[in-house]
Amino acid sequence: MPYVNIKITDENVTSQQKAELIEGVTELLKIVLNKNPETTVVVIDEVSTDNWGIGGQQVTERRKKGK
């Protein structure tokens, strides 16, 4: 029954990597809290680097500086 939302920047994440995140988080909740995988929901949001800020700056700008 847990609900997990993963927000990451939209930078060429493959479908295989998403599958691994979903499987891994679901497994983690089973191991740590004995949650039933059948009703564990995972939603991945890919966010444009223009729309993600850290350190007061867009990630787009940080990437240009090699961060």
Size of the site for a copy of itself (CB under 8 A): 51
1 CB-near residues (< 8 Å, 6+ apart): 35, 36, 39, 40
> Is residue 48 within 8 Å of residue 15, measured between CB atoms?
no
| Contacts to a copy of itself from residues 13-32, by CB under 8 A | 13, 15, 17-29, 31-32
Cα gap 13→11, rounded to integer Å: 6
Q: Which of 38, 63, 64, 66 binds a copy of itself (CB under 8 A)?
A: 38
Per CB under 8 A, residues contacting a copy of itself are 1-9, 13, 15, 17-29, 31-33, 35, 37-47, 50-61
